[in-house]
Structure 1
Amino acid sequence: MGYRLLKQKHFSIVQPVMIAGLILGSMTAHAEISDKDTAPVAPMGDFAMPTYQGTSISLNDYLGKVVLVDFWASWCSPCRTSFPWMNHMSAKYRDQGFEIAAINLDQQKPQAVTFLKELPPEFTVLFNASGEMPEAFEVIGMPTSFLIDRDGKVRATHIGFHSDKTKEYEKEIQQLLQEAQ
């Protein structure tokens, strides 16, 4: 339901959803990841989405890796802060089996392209304006990220991006990378 609200063009509808997401985000961001045995399987989907780089990929292509699935939009201020951090994490941990799939939810692709020219990604950017993936993941705020282990289980969720919690976010990535493959 959250994504349906986000798709509306009226800021008055989007603003309460973003505020709720930021409030929830401050409560859900933590340095301990969920237990592997009780973690839900991520709704990775088996359909291909177009990438900013000009190809297409399915989230299922990431199974066997630790992946941060990040939902973002060009109008999202915290997304501007998260992109440089994601670039840094991608460069730092890519060789250890870490990937980032940033899924754009803009209805108008040119807005996303403008954002990406200003903050060039060093990770995969996917486009899903039709909304299947945010619906499947039950996204309620921007940005929302899901840290998924090598078995495709959601081990951490963050609603919003909090610069003061990046060390905790990185610790979660490190912890999943250290788990046996």
Structure 2
Amino acid sequence: MTMITLLLCCLIEPPQSVPATPLVPMKRPTAPPETTKGASEFPTSWFYSKGGQRYADNLAVEGKPLPKLSLENWRGEPVDVNNNQGKVMVIDFWATWCGPCRRALPKNVEMAKKYKNQPFVLVGIHDARRGKDRIEQVVGPLNAEYPMAVDVLDSQSKSGRSAQACRLKYWPTYLVVDYKGIVRACGLQPSRVEDVVKRLLKEVPQESSPEPETTSDQS
């Protein structure tokens, strides 16, 4: 029998809330335990959780290199997400049909502008299955300038390849990747993403100040 993992759309408030919106099926070859206490460098209250326990799928992604992502149909300048290039990267798995996702978009826009001169990049990845035809209608009025792409649909599972690689459990799902390409947080509540970003930006090595140019008289 094919194992089915349910993908759900999370509420943004309050912390540790249990989503009450209809479940969205998403096929996966295996189904790990639903939740686990696990260990994390950030407070559990910053993440979506159930009964005070974080989702095992989220914890399984943390502390490891970002899985290879397959993206298409970029809006804005494409980003090589598989080559982090020394930047802190936020990945927002979202969808136009997801209410909490849409409510979090203004915060994304604000954060992208705030850290545009920092070693930072925010990338939106839209659901491969449905709703991608409404992306511009949703984000256009927000003047969103950060890059967005659409997940590539897997013909067999009928789910997004990137969503499967990141063991997506619900929408929206935020991942924060450090400058070394390691996933440091997965499943954050939108209101806590920037808290993680601030911490990880402090870890990025400061570039050496360039030597001042000098001129010599050869007369």
TM-score by length of 2: 0.60
Structure 2 distance, partners of 1:79, 1:117, is: 15
- SS of the residue corresponding to residue 117 of structure 2 reads helix
Q: What residue number does 1:134 align with?
A: 163
Q: What residue number does 1:52 align with?
A: 75
1:105-143 CA distances to partner (integer Å, 9 max, x unpaired)?
153532223222243322111111511111101111110
| 1:86-125 correspondence runs (5 A) | 86-106=108-128, 107-125=130-148
Q: CA RMSD in A?
A: 3.0
The structure with more helix, counted as a fraction of residues: 1
Give unpaired runs (5+ residues) of structure 1. Answer: 7-13
Count of paired positions: 155
Which of 85, 89, 110 aligns to 1:63? It is 85
Give unpaired runs (5+ residues) of structure 2. Answer: 9-20, 26-33, 35-46, 154-159, 206-219
Q: What residue number does 1:146 align with?
A: 175
Q: What residue number does 1:15 align with?
A: 22
Contact 1:148 1:154 (C-alpha < 8 Å) held by counterparts: yes
1:180 and 1:115, CA in 2 relative to 1: closer, same or farther beyond 3 A? closer
Structure 2 distance, partners of 1:144, 1:28, is: 16
1:86 and 1:75, CA in 2 relative to 1: closer, same or farther beyond 3 A? same
Contact 1:72 1:105 (C-alpha < 8 Å) held by counterparts: yes
1:28 and 1:43, CA in 2 relative to 1: closer, same or farther beyond 3 A? farther
1:144 partner letter: T
Contact 2:71 2:152 (C-alpha < 8 Å) held by counterparts: no
Q: What is the CA distance between 1:16 and its match in structure 2?
A: 2.3
Structure 2 distance, partners of 1:159, 1:141, is: 11
1:65 and 1:180, CA in 2 relative to 1: closer, same or farther beyond 3 A? closer
TM-score by length of 1: 0.72
Contact 1:143 1:159 (C-alpha < 8 Å) held by counterparts: no
1:81 and 1:58, CA in 2 relative to 1: closer, same or farther beyond 3 A? same
Which 4+ runs in 1 deviate beyond 4 A?
26-29
The structure with more strand, counted as a fraction of residues: 2
Percent identical among aligned pairs is 26
Q: What residue number does 1:178 align with?
A: 202
1:74-123 CA distances to partner (integer Å, 9 max, x unpaired)?
01111112111011111111211111010011535322232222433221
Bigger RCO (CA 8 Å, 6+ sep)? 1
Looking at CA atoms only, which structure, 1 or 2, has the larger radius of gyration?
Answer: 2
